[in-house]
Amino acid sequence: MDGLRPERALTVSQWADEHRRLSSKASAEPGPWRTGRTPYLKEPMDELSTTSNVQRVVMMFAAQTGKTESGSNWLGYVIAHAPGPMLLVQPTVEMAKRLSKQRLESLISETPCLAERIAPARARDSGNTMFAKEFPGGMMLLTGANSATGLRSTPCRYIFMDEVDAFPADVDGEGDPVSLAEKRATTFARRKILLTSTPTVKDFSRIEAEYQRSDQRRFYVPCPSCGEMQWLKWPQLKWEGNDPATAVYECEHCGERFAEIHKPAMLRQGEWRATAPSDGKTAGFQLSGLYSPLGWLSWADMVDDFLRAKADAPMLKSFVNTRLAETWEEDYASKVSADGLMAKRLAYESGTCPDGVVLLTAGVDVQDNRLAVSVWGWGDRQVGWLVWHQELMGDPTQVEVWGQLDQVLATGWATECGKELKITQMCVDSGGHCTHETYAYVRDRVRQGVVAIKGSSKRGSAAVGKGSKVDVNWRGRVIKRGVTLYMLGTDTIKTTLFGRMRHDDGLRFGMAADDEYFKQLTSEKQALRYVKGFPVREWVKKSSERNEALDCCVYAYAAMLIYGRRMNRATMWQQLRDRLESGKQTPLRSRKQPASGAASGFVSNW
Ligand SMILES: [Zn+2]
């Protein structure tokens, strides 16, 4: 049989130059394929050939560089020249369907040597369906990375995973779709795996991770002036004012600037060079839109795109990903520095509520030898002011330090308008070593708005979970007026708070905050952890730094959210403002002694 003849030493680029035709429907340049038009595609394609020992080919390419067509050439090569079972994975089953109907149908029908190997889809029992194409000696299966079933089944010698950055992190609870698909090729000694994509967010991009595990090839081209080889970088592109038409490239060696007209000659003389050690099995290629052939995407187009995008983060991200083929760095916490916050500190005194504060909450972090307490004021649109922050020294297994906390709870805090506010909701951390003592304290102060909280390590948790009653009586029944414990999605809250600090959006600090406070507040950064092989961001403490100020802030913010649950969200801030202005005191009784049941009416007053 034709399909079973021994494989001749032919590369994908040779096959494409001989047989591939571009249709007028799918291509801007219909006619015979010419690898010379995009010389940088030759090597990636040839590493996919049976003549190469490479098993994994990684292409992190910009849009409009021909990445898609090189994949199609490989498909044609497999069908016509090196048949075997092949799996094509698109991000979703729906996209696989579209690929089958559009790209694949035209690839087959426009290329005679493929058309004669695959029966038309219309014929009955043709072996040609939407998701399976039979050909002599092999079969091509199509599926989506969102279908575990599609990724499992039969062994495949060839696997083509397209746009892997759009793959889900986890498919049907069975883990990473890339690993799942790749398992199917393990039995083939001469397997080939192609992964392609434009990248997405730094540290979250699959294609970047794959590229970093490869030998990291860059396409080096000679400078038209000095001849020095270099790979093209975006910062070297220069233009005048806001005029994209003036775009020229500045050689990083001789400083000479040259126009795009030199590009075809440069591409012809270009070569891929590895920039990292090779394992001999993985070849990685990165290519920006700067290499796009004349007539496709020009340097002027790229400057134009950049000028439109530069002021808008999502547009700029898209530019960086699809034009530069680089990952986008989201610098969440990195822009929130202790020094930066210190510099923006406002002049209000510690212990006073600036204009705008209409609600006070507190967050308490329980440590082995002290309680750290922050009092936060809140106003319209959840703007927050740090009112007070202190450490109450003392062993939390003893009553003394809790007595100090009672004084905080009993304090009336002066507002700018000459009124007084009291803490209406306090969150005390029960997740530390002193859970029992914390519950004991909270139990007697439920009516004063004191609740127990515990941070949840579960990713993506709601900021504040549903409260649950944790006290039971001797019969094992829940005590109605016992301690309520709220689980906090601390990662979620920290992301919110840091987002607001970074954008200078509604968290204000006065003289209550000093150097040490800001150091603690910024003591955590987002780090990566791998869950089922996929990276997730989570907040971790920077080495050996204390973070109570941050924890207290998280708890006080949660207290504000918990308090808000009792109120109509739309009118909450207006109601609180009216109440403050009408001179009505907060319903908390001023007490120096720990409260018992005497504080009845606290909730009903509200
Ligand atoms: Zn030069």
State in Å: Cα 250 to ligand 1 middle: 8
State in Å: Cα 258 to ligand 1 middle: 9
Q: What is the model's pLDDT at position 498? A: 83
State in Å: Cα 252 to ligand 1 middle: 7
Q: For residue 500, name the pLDDT band (cuts at 50, 70, 90).
A: confident
- Which pairs with CB-CB distance under 8 Å and at least 24 residues apart come from 602-606? 602/447, 602/448, 602/449, 603/447, 603/566, 606/566, 606/567
| pLDDT tens per residue, range 426-481 | 999 998 778 989 999 999 998 899 999 999 877 778 889 988 888 777 777 777 77
149: which 2 tokens?
A: 């079933």
State in Å: Cα 249 to ligand 1 middle: 10
State in Å: Cα 287 to ligand 1 middle: 20
State in Å: Cα 251 to ligand 1 middle: 5
CA distance 552 to 571: 27
Is the model more confident about 176 or about 27? 176
Q: Is the pLDDT of residue 335 over 80?
A: no
State in Å: Cα 192 to ligand 1 middle: 38
- CA triple 350-353-359, angle to 5 deg: 130
What pairs with residue 421 in β-bridges?
413
State in Å: Cα 237 to ligand 1 middle: 14
DSSP one-letter string for 370-410 = EEEEEEEEEEGGGEEEEEEEEEEES-TTSSHHHHHHHHHHH
Instruction: Please tell me the least confidently modeled range out of 286-295, 313-322, 409-418.
Output: 313-322
User: Positive or negative CA dihedral for 121, 126, 129, 134?
Assistant: negative
Q: What is the model's pLDDT at position 393? A: 95
| pLDDT tens per residue, range 363-385 | 999 999 999 999 999 999 889 99
Q: For residue 495, name the pLDDT band (cuts at 50, 70, 90).
A: confident
CA distance 600 to 543: 46
Q: What is the model's pLDDT at position 589? A: 39
State in Å: Cα 233 to ligand 1 middle: 14
Amino acid at 139: M
- Put simply, whether the predicted model's pTM sits higher than 0.75 gets the answer no
CA distance 438 to 483: 10
**Residues whose CB falls within 8 Å of the CB of residue 568, separated by 6 or more in sequence, listed in order:** 575
Report the percentage of the chain scoring pLDDT > 90.
Answer: 61
State in Å: Cα 223 to ligand 1 middle: 5
| pLDDT tens per residue, range 213-272 | 999 999 999 999 999 999 999 999 999 988 999 999 999 999 999 999 999 999 999 999
CA distance 197 to 201: 12
Q: What is the model's pLDDT at position 591? A: 34
State in Å: Cα 256 to ligand 1 middle: 6
Instruction: Please tell me the least confidently modeled range out of 107-111, 152-156, 374-378, 529-533.
Output: 529-533
State in Å: Cα 224 to ligand 1 middle: 7
Q: What is the mean pLDDT of residues 317-340?
A: 78
Instruction: Please tell me the least confidently modeled range out of 272-276, 336-340, 433-437.
Output: 336-340
Query: What is the SS3 assignment for 220?
Result: strand
Q: Is the pLDDT of residue 403 over 90?
A: yes
Q: Please name the helix (run of DSSP H) or strand (run of DSSP E) that holds residue 573, with its range, or none.
A: helix 572-581
DSSP one-letter string for 152-179 = HSS--SEEEEESGGGS-SSSTTS--HHH
- CA triple 64-70-75, angle to 5 deg: 140
State in Å: Cα 40 to ligand 1 middle: 21
State in Å: Cα 291 to ligand 1 middle: 17
